[in-house]
Structure 1
Amino acid sequence: MYLSKNIGLRRDWYTDAAFGQQQFTGTNPTTVTLAPRRWMDEFMSVARVQERTDVTKLLTERADNMYVQDYSDFRSSIGLYPGERIVCDGRYGCSSVALFHLETEGKLHPLGIVLDYKGSMQESVTIFNRRIASNVNGNEYEDWPWRFAKTCVQVSDWLRHEVAIHLVNTHLVEEVIIVAAYRSFRPNHIITRLLEPHWSTTLSLNKAARETLVPKIIIGMTGLSASQTYAFLKAEYNKFDWKGLYIPNDLKKRGFPIENLDEPKYHNYGYARNIARMWNIIRKFVSTVLEKEYAGGDQEVVSDRSLAVFCEEVRSRDGGQLTSFPDINTLNELIDFVTMCIHIAVPQHTAVNYLQQYYQTFVPNKPSALHIPLPQSLAELCSFTEQDLLSALPLKKPRDWLLMAQVPYLLSFEVPEESTILHYAETTSSSRATLEIIRSAAQVLSMDLRAFIDTVTRNSTELDDQQTPYLVLDPSKTAISILI
């Protein structure tokens, strides 16, 4: 653990540049979203009250380039009123909202932060960056109020990432697919044959998460009680939007249309550029197989009764309870469904899991909770010093510190070569035991993945931040399934 690199070894780890880039290539690069009118109006109103004319001018002139990380729903998800504190056993949580400006050159610059949203910004503490743009000089190191605000965002994102993006949206959703598939399809059904290689260890891992990781570790790391944690988990599961999270749909909805990702403005969004290409590679592989298996097209899909049984199993109250799961009535819908299953288990889980060691073992970068109450006014926040920021960290609680540092390390072990998506493609394409239509499609998949390695490397070298390469989606490192 102590020999592995982490962001704390960078002299600039605390800067706006490093903070902004983490929204694009960090542990959770999946939720930064074009700012809706609601947040634009609220930030504009507060900027006027604080007489930040530079902010109001920027919000007016660059409205289409404002993005947010929005954690404002935490209280409603866990059953708290807007003004109630998020606190458990001396650990404080927060429900932050962060506003970013995507500058013309592609830098994502943090502009404003609501530390803990309590139903309105009038009832919350909001601070704006003294540095209106990334090229404005300033003493970032000693800007303790702003650094505390960024820490609040990281605490909020820790909860969203660990419980929702990682545990729910990959582990638990994939489990529903696995169980429903085993209940609905024959062992030799083409869907089983395509998906089963991507199910290795997932069910046993999830059992361990339910019995140990969540109740005995995660719950003791955040500002949420046990009941609040499970309420949050359930709320996030109920919000899962199956078709909405298809990569082309998700990126477009969040303000990053796939057709524009190679423009200079988006060159720093390594996750989006890589995951969009990976989605297409997987879909090409899946479509090659299914177009041959379902040669009769849509009619043959409709005639496959096991698909209808499967869909009902995923959605039913006595089954998966994944209400957003669609009916599958066309060949294209079937291809998208299988693509999504592989996407969740392979590149998506890899992207949100295997960078935890780098970004989270250095606790000051992304703690799971604060250890002092949040300031209740802007004046109080502006009085914060280095000591206040240090007091917010678990320096006097070694158990909390060790958990915050070691859990990410344990979840980020290096993927063995034989467990990568590239190894799967190469062995599948040469194995006589493999079904012929899968074997021939895997030959093309292998070539596509080999070519994609160069794409991942090129996209990484095009990032402004060259201190931390973004190679997590290299197919020679991407796990074949949810292995941890």
Structure 2
Amino acid sequence: MILGNLASSVGNVVGDITGLNKPSKNTITGSVVIVKKNVLDFTAVHSTVADSLFELLGNQVSLQLVSAENPDPANDNGGKLGKLATLEYWNLTYTPLLAGDDSLYKVSFEWDEEFGIPGAIILRNNHTAEFFLKTITLENVPGEGRIHFVCNSWVYPDRRYKKPRIFFSNKTYLPHETPAALRKFREEELQVLRGDGTGQLKTGDRVYDYALYNDLGDPDKGADLARPVLGGLAQYPYPRRGRTSRPPSKTDPKTESRLFLPNILNIYVPRDEQFAHLKLSDFIAYNLKGLVNQIIPLLEAFVNYTPNEFDSFKDVDNLFFSGLPLPTDLINQVANNIPLEMMGEFFRSDGQQLLKFPVPKLIEDRSNPFAWRTDEEFGREMLAGLNPLLIQLLKEFPPVSNLDPRVYVNQNSSITKQDIEYNLDGLTVEEALSSKRLFILDHHDTIMPYLQTINEYTEAKTYASRTILFLRGDGTLKPVAIELSLPKMEEDKIGCVNKVYTPAEHGVEGWIWMLAKAFVNVNDSGHHQLVSHWLNTHAVLEPFVIATNRQLSVVHPIYKLLHPHFRDTMTINALARELLINANGIIERTFCPGKYSLEMSSVIYKSWNFMDQALPNDLKKRGIADGDIKSLDDLDRLLIKDYPYAVDGLKIWFAIENWVRDYCSFYYKTDEMVQRDPELQAWWKELREVGHGDKKDEPWWPKMQNLEDLIQSCTIIIWIASALHAAVNYGQYAFGGYFPNRPTLSRRFMPEKGTPEYAELEKNPEKVFFRTMSSQLQSLTVITVVETLSNHASDEVYLGQRTPNWTTDAVPLQASDAFNRRLAEIEGVILKMNIDKKLKNRIGPVNVPYNLLHPTGEIGISGKGIPNSISI
């Protein structure tokens, strides 16, 4: 027994010694979080059954570790591959019935010392259905501890892919810092995402590519639905969109064919850019589809039961406070054609079936129901309303035009000193100009080139406009003159006829002044929707989404910085092209430029400047800032101190800039590192030369040769995606849901003295107002659309919020925490300013506090919150 024990001990010692030269075998355990296709999704039921059978036959979900330390010559010097492991107990794991709930699986990997630290995982889905892979976490990795893989990607059956899916750990690498064992996989993954530019793209594909805006028209349905291709031509420059690869139309080979309802949600975007399959974002997508396919036809049916027009403001107020009864046969039509959840959204029941909408914040305060009509509110909304981006300092009186003198003549303003001087609180025009207290909202030069065409070939009857405002001592803006202009041919050039209107409160002159303000708001509504909103946020950002995914690896620090700000953008843009901005779409039917809407935005894009999107640059260019604003210490340079969009925006801007500076400075220690980063340089080159290819020769593009170029560029991108979009989107229902405040179309010209229209205005001014502005159907359509577009989803991700474990680097994590603390401080400051009665522009006569740049928000139409991305 003793000898036996001794021999055993010697054997153990020998084994321990020889073990120094042999790798020890270990098991690494991991957990995998997946969202399956919901079992209540009937299209997935057969896949669920098939996948269970596949599991029994051994066709499972397999995972394979990839070494970050040890390359394998047999694998083209890519990282050594571990043995296959499979998800355990697929059939026994509880699958939640509720959409979006997670399923947790375990997996065990064989590991030895020769393998080293895992840096990536190859995953193969051998089932028949896709699933959403959220995270993979490895536990107790020798020498490393826990390793996180933040995946957030749809994984389709492996047969759909030319290359198996690979997911990298949450470590961050500049290209030259990438472990040699992972470089092959880093480059191959980017090649997959770029595609080869050919072939039909299908649901589930992951290719990011570019195309012109050639999918807006539908010439196969008639010549009146043909639209010019935007982009690629000097006449119609435009940012690029994501390639959808549909075949050309039969009528025009340059125009891409369109999808038809009910297949509208099948438009191609890379799978991971699509709305989360199981969240409220999908409900929004289906609402947009339902608006076109079901709701608008029912609104048309409802209008046919009425006199087809609103006659008074009381009629409009009833939409929000009392509701309009629905005829019985229309109720039956609603019940038969609209899903219950959509009935609850658009057709509400208060003891009887009523057409009733949420009360817009503009008219919530019933102590002063006509506060929205006041001149003070009219001026305030240029500073704290839906489109606070256009007001600018008036530097020359009377205002002048910058239209091409070879084509246009006599386009300067006809406003005189006598028109306004009595309204300048005792100042002369020269004194008001020199003290920088005159401002202008100028919709003349942008509208005039299309005005004759709009008035002749659409139902609109409208004007180019200029509005002069005076900055009063209490910080409010007082409109002192509105000029409405129509084109007039003068020999071989385009001149104009101007008429000036000045403030009046009572009688028919008061209604004329109200109509003049409404004509201005028609122009402003069109510019807001087509330029401030669509072009300057949605459209200009899409090339950045595409280029970032094509040229920056998921482990690149700039990809990690920017990626949260691209969520859902390509999908909402694709839906907009199919339903909102397309030929005879909702925008063309309800906004003044009509069929020329996108064409006009293309002309305006000619003057788009990436650097001007930086808020400090924008304020200086508009003359609102008297000099450079380099920090919050320079806020006193604002000529309008109580300018809520500018004041709150600058706080957000510098918070973003400081966060970006801290983050980028950690990875790029020198300017030379920026210059020698091949992925970064390829990204910036593609953005300029392809994504915004029509602007590639502009001198204002940053050269991306130093750290400051990178910081400023990333700050602008994040600003556009988050705060700028929030400022022009989430107030749409608050200010535009009550459409008399912001009509989107005018159908008759201003009544002139001595005409029947003027006599009608004297007798029934409210009726004339509603016959002049948007029709009942157009107004109801706008309400339903902006109600949908003003919603914050239940899964909204607000500025500063990030997926847990998104990086392993401590300094960026600390900088991210500091950014969030700063945003919380800004929230507190905004709330305090909104109750400061000295700041009259914060809430205005309508008692609506300015919260559009309040960083966090609430579900629904809250008018508050800055999402990370353009997600609606």
Q: Shorter-chain TM-score: which interval? A: 0.7 to 0.9
- The equivalent of 2:681 in structure 1 is 308
Asked if 1:475 corresponds to 2:855, the answer is yes
- The equivalent of 1:180 in structure 2 is 547
> Would you say the 8 A contact 2:503–2:510 is kept in 1?
no
- The equivalent of 2:729 in structure 1 is 353
Alignment of 1:135-154 (within 5 A): 138-139=505-506, 143-154=510-521
Partner AA of 2:671 in structure 1: D
Partner AA of 2:786 in structure 1: P
Q: Distance in 1 between matches of 2:855 and 2:496?
A: 47
Superposed CA offset, 1:8-31 (max 9, x none): 444311010111110001010111
* 1:312, distance to aligned residue in structure 2 (A): 2.5
**Residue of structure 2 aligned with 1:440, choices 807, 814, 817:** 814
Q: Distance in 2 between matches of 1:30 and 1:23?
A: 7
> Would you say the 8 A contact 1:46–1:121 is kept in 2?
no
Alignment partner of 2:371: what SS? Answer: coil
> TM-score scaled to structure 2, two decimals?
0.50
Partner AA of 1:20 in structure 2: G
* 1:221, distance to aligned residue in structure 2 (A): 1.0
Asked if 1:326 corresponds to 2:702, the answer is yes
Unaligned runs of 5+ in 2: 1-355, 401-410, 489-493, 858-865
- The equivalent of 1:214 in structure 2 is 581
> Would you say the 8 A contact 1:93–1:370 is kept in 2?
yes
> Would you say the 8 A contact 2:381–2:388 is kept in 1?
yes
Change over 3 Å in CA distance of 1:378–1:316 after alignment to 2: farther
- The equivalent of 2:593 in structure 1 is 224
Change over 3 Å in CA distance of 1:165–1:51 after alignment to 2: closer
- The equivalent of 1:134 in structure 2 is none
Q: Distance in 1 between matches of 2:733 and 2:572?
A: 19
* 1:77, distance to aligned residue in structure 2 (A): 5.3
Change over 3 Å in CA distance of 1:381–1:436 after alignment to 2: farther
Q: Distance in 2 between matches of 1:69 and 1:231?
A: 22
Q: Distance in 2 between matches of 1:183 and 1:432?
A: 20
Alignment partner of 1:316: what SS? Answer: helix
Alignment partner of 1:111: what SS? Answer: strand
Percent identical: 25
Asked if 1:365 corresponds to 2:738, the answer is no
Change over 3 Å in CA distance of 1:369–1:418 after alignment to 2: closer
* 1:423, distance to aligned residue in structure 2 (A): 3.5
* 1:230, distance to aligned residue in structure 2 (A): 2.4
Change over 3 Å in CA distance of 1:39–1:240 after alignment to 2: farther
**Residue of structure 1 aligned with 2:649, choices 265, 275, 278:** 275
Q: Distance in 2 between matches of 1:281 and 1:93?
A: 42
Asked if 1:15 corresponds to 2:403, the answer is no
Partner AA of 1:476 in structure 2: T
Alignment partner of 1:123: what SS? Answer: strand
Partner AA of 1:60 in structure 2: E
> Would you say the 8 A contact 1:262–1:273 is kept in 2?
no
Change over 3 Å in CA distance of 1:350–1:378 after alignment to 2: farther
> Would you say the 8 A contact 1:97–1:117 is kept in 2?
no
Alignment of 1:122-133 (within 5 A): 123-130=497-504
* 1:298, distance to aligned residue in structure 2 (A): 1.5
Partner AA of 1:240 in structure 2: W
- The equivalent of 1:28 in structure 2 is 387
> Would you say the 8 A contact 1:151–1:365 is kept in 2?
yes
Superposed CA offset, 1:229-286 (max 9, x none): 2211212223211112211111122222245645896343100000011010001111
- The equivalent of 1:404 in structure 2 is 782
Q: Mean alpha-carbon deviation: is it higher for 350-359 or for 324-333? A: 324-333
> Would you say the 8 A contact 2:465–2:482 is kept in 1?
yes
Larger strand share, 1 or 2: 2
- The equivalent of 1:243 in structure 2 is 611
> Would you say the 8 A contact 1:356–1:411 is kept in 2?
yes
> Would you say the 8 A contact 1:24–1:269 is kept in 2?
yes
Structure with higher Rg: it is 2
Change over 3 Å in CA distance of 1:371–1:8 after alignment to 2: farther
- The equivalent of 1:91 in structure 2 is 460
Partner AA of 2:510 in structure 1: D
Superposed CA offset, 1:312-355 (max 9, x none): 22222576434454321111111010011110111110111000
Superposed CA offset, 1:56-105 (max 9, x none): 96422201211111111234554x5xx56535542334321111111222
Asked if 1:69 corresponds to 2:441, the answer is yes
Give the count of matched residue pairs: 465
- The equivalent of 2:671 in structure 1 is 298
Q: Distance in 2 between matches of 1:51 and 1:380?
A: 27
Q: Distance in 1 between matches of 2:745 and 2:649?
A: 30
* 1:410, distance to aligned residue in structure 2 (A): 1.2
Q: Distance in 2 between matches of 1:11 and 1:453?
A: 30
Change over 3 Å in CA distance of 1:52–1:62 after alignment to 2: closer
Q: Distance in 2 between matches of 1:455 and 1:417?
A: 26
- The equivalent of 2:469 in structure 1 is 100
**Residue of structure 2 aligned with 1:449, choices 812, 823, 829:** 823
Q: Distance in 2 between matches of 1:317 and 1:140?
A: 57
Alignment partner of 1:364: what SS? Answer: coil
Q: Distance in 2 between matches of 1:207 and 1:417?
A: 20
Q: Mean alpha-carbon deviation: is it higher for 112-121 or for 322-331? A: 112-121
Larger helix share, 1 or 2: 1
Change over 3 Å in CA distance of 1:124–1:382 after alignment to 2: farther
> Would you say the 8 A contact 2:360–2:735 is kept in 1?
no
Change over 3 Å in CA distance of 1:264–1:46 after alignment to 2: closer
Partner AA of 2:749 in structure 1: P
> Would you say the 8 A contact 2:526–2:593 is kept in 1?
no
- The equivalent of 1:135 in structure 2 is none
Q: Mean alpha-carbon deviation: is it higher for 114-123 or for 247-256? A: 114-123
* 1:301, distance to aligned residue in structure 2 (A): 1.2
Q: Mean alpha-carbon deviation: is it higher for 304-313 or for 166-175? A: 304-313
Q: Distance in 2 between matches of 1:219 and 1:367?
A: 14
- The equivalent of 2:58 in structure 1 is none
Superposed CA offset, 1:396-435 (max 9, x none): x4321211222211110035475112543xx65xx36554
Q: Distance in 1 between matches of 2:686 and 2:695?
A: 9
Partner AA of 1:283 in structure 2: E
Change over 3 Å in CA distance of 1:402–1:432 after alignment to 2: closer
* 1:369, distance to aligned residue in structure 2 (A): 0.5
| Cα-Cα RMSD | 3.0
Unaligned runs of 5+ in 1: 131-137
Change over 3 Å in CA distance of 1:123–1:377 after alignment to 2: farther
Partner AA of 1:4 in structure 2: V
Partner AA of 2:681 in structure 1: A
> TM-score scaled to structure 1, two decimals?
0.87
Q: Distance in 2 between matches of 1:267 and 1:152?
A: 28
